[in-house]
Structure 1
Amino acid sequence: MRFFRTIHFLSLDVVLGTVSLHMMFYHALLHVWPSWEYDALLGISVFLIYGIDRQIDNISLGASDELHVFHAQNQRKLLSILLALGCVNIYLLYRVEMAMIRLGLVLILIVGGYWAAWTNGFFTWIWGIKEIFTSLIYSAGVLLPTYLAGGFHFVWGMALFLLALLNLCLFTWIDVGGNRRFLQLLIWASGAWLMLMCLSGFQLDVCVILLLVWGIHAGIYYFSPRKHMRPWAEWAFASPLIYILCNL
């Protein structure tokens, strides 16, 4: 269990879920697998964002739980890893097309603005606004390579955004409370959107994978809304591994 807890504390479950979602959407829409440079860039970027995010948390709010205590205790090691991976990402940028670099830089600027807004308390005035911005950035990062390759579809993009938002709002509500009615509406709106995708003839195997992610989150809300369920929710986003293994 300690091994899996460390994976969760390092957000490697989130990295795996993000990369597997990216690979599934890319393959489903373009019928080819993305290059390893795309996968590595995305995975490292997510690790960097979450790692820096934890350090900002500890500076602004202090180490308030086990996860943040872990990052505080291992700060020097983790910062060294973040620096090394940042250098790897710079190298990887030389291996992708200029359009990817341009849009990636735009996304980095958006993330920087997001962090600035967060540290200045911009997201405290409406419950859920931080989660909405985070979900938009997450969805954009996952689908950026697919969009550049000409395979983006709004319906799938909205499905990913709703699932990411559901994950964030669910655990914000579990951790600190908040707008339960909004969360309930989000559960059923995202479920209805996914069902509409299935009935509209979108690729069935992808729809089933996304419904599995939704079902795990809905199950947590209705049957076990506890903090210790967070790793299960993060691993749910790695469900596209089923699609990947079945299509190798």
Structure 2
Amino acid sequence: MQWLQDTAFIINYYLKRAHWLSLDVVAGAVITHIIASRLPDGHGKVSWASTLLVGIAVFMIYVVDRLLDNRKSDHSPTPRHDFHVKNEPLLIKILLGLGLISLVLLFWVPSKVLWFGFGLASLVGLYLWFAFRISAKHTAQVFKEPLVAIVYTAGIWGPAILTETTLAWESPVLMGLYGLLAFQNLLLFSWFESLELDEGFSLAIAWGTETVSSVLNWLLGLIIVGALAVIIFTTYRYCVRAAIVVVVMSGCMHVLKRSSAKVLPDERYRPLGDGIFLISLWLL
């Protein structure tokens, strides 16, 4: 039985570090981009260059954000941030390498997607600079969750929609649903954090735990209504499957919220919440 314990320890060791590096978030972003590219019938062309760039961009944004967090004087360290501190020299080398790879991949990206990416990258860079420069006591921190949800959704869905020869109405609708799902995810994390902290500057702390709980319920309702509209009116089976997956993911986050007593210790809600996006594997 000792080998089972050793195997479980090794698996848990690497899974935890993969989560600290947000590789589960990267996987969810890549899967979602592939799904968006295949809409509406499931046979849309998937650009391998754009897919790789999406994964690289998400990874780089998360790593850079945490490296910048570690330089804030009022920052409260977490195991995730401590991991980035210990491995900062290696992470910087990885970021530089991925940056060079990204420059090479740009040669295979359509010009309109390229300009869209530059605009979005400028917005992200401005946000990271602004978040690093200002103090956490400024009210601008309150808008982090919706802004990140918008940028995340635009970065994943934008290239896919721009390259569609004929834009079906289901694509922007599902994009909106995924945007609501991303906001639900970020707001849920903020809600969990507000249960642990009585001070800080997140949306949940600013609005109050009960208000955010109500907003999360409304988000679930909006996602269900929007998904039902797609299921009822679309003529594409792939869009029906995509809408069902969105509802399942949103429902899982609602269950996670209702199980707060079990998932709050040791921030168990984080890998579970990020892992919910892997449910989309069913659509590949």
TM-score normalised by length of structure 1: 0.91
- Structure 1 counterpart of 2:271, one-letter code: P
What number of residue pairs does the alignment pair up? 244
Residue 78 of structure 1 pairs with residue 119 of structure 2: no
The Cα of 1:145 is off from its aligned counterpart by 1.4
Structure 2 CA distance for aligned equivalents of residues 66 and 19 of structure 1: 26
Instruction: Specify the alignment match of 1:235 in structure 2.
Output: 275
Distance 1:13 1:49, change over 3 A: same
Residue 98 of structure 1 pairs with residue 123 of structure 2: no
Cα deviations by residue, 1:135-181 (Å, 9 ceiling, x for unpaired) = 11001001011221234733222211111111111112222452223
- Structure 2 counterpart of 1:29, one-letter code: P
Structure 1 CA distance for aligned equivalents of residues 142 and 163 of structure 2: 32
Unpaired segments ≥5 residues, structure 2: 1-11, 196-204
Q: Pairwise mapping of residues 1-248 of structure 1 onto structure 2 (< 5 A)?
A: 1-29=12-40, 31-60=43-72, 61-62=74-75, 64-119=77-132, 120-121=134-135, 124-125=138-139, 128-150=142-164, 151=167, 153-177=171-195, 178=205, 179-200=208-229, 201=232, 202=234, 203-224=239-260, 226=264, 227-244=267-284
Cα deviations by residue, 1:37-70 (Å, 9 ceiling, x for unpaired) = 1110100011110110110110114461100000
Q: Secondary structure at the match of 1:94?
A: helix
Contact 1:8-1:231 within 8 A present in 2 as well: yes
Contact 1:117-1:123 within 8 A present in 2 as well: no
The Cα of 1:187 is off from its aligned counterpart by 2.2
Identity %, equivalent residues = 27
Contact 1:16-1:43 within 8 A present in 2 as well: yes
Structure 1 CA distance for aligned equivalents of residues 137 and 249 of structure 2: 27
Deviates more, 1:224-233 or 1:84-93: 224-233
The Cα of 1:129 is off from its aligned counterpart by 1.2
The Cα of 1:229 is off from its aligned counterpart by 1.6
- Structure 2 counterpart of 1:78, one-letter code: L
Instruction: Specify the alignment match of 2:202 in structure 1.
Output: none
Distance 1:123 1:98, change over 3 A: farther
Contact 1:166-1:187 within 8 A present in 2 as well: yes
Structure 1 CA distance for aligned equivalents of residues 101 and 140 of structure 2: 37
* Rg larger in structure: 2
Distance 1:175 1:104, change over 3 A: same
Contact 2:56-2:98 within 8 A present in 1 as well: yes
Instruction: Specify the alignment match of 2:198 in structure 1.
Output: none
Distance 1:83 1:74, change over 3 A: same
Contact 1:198-1:207 within 8 A present in 2 as well: yes
Deviates more, 1:158-167 or 1:115-124: 115-124
Structure 1 CA distance for aligned equivalents of residues 155 and 69 of structure 2: 22
Structure 2 CA distance for aligned equivalents of residues 124 and 172 of structure 1: 17
Q: Which runs of 4+ in 1 moved over 6 A?
A: none
TM-score normalised by length of structure 2: 0.80
Structure 2 CA distance for aligned equivalents of residues 21 and 240 of structure 1: 7
The Cα of 1:102 is off from its aligned counterpart by 0.6
Calculate the aligned-residue CA RMSD, in Å: 2.0
Distance 1:74 1:148, change over 3 A: same
Distance 1:146 1:156, change over 3 A: same
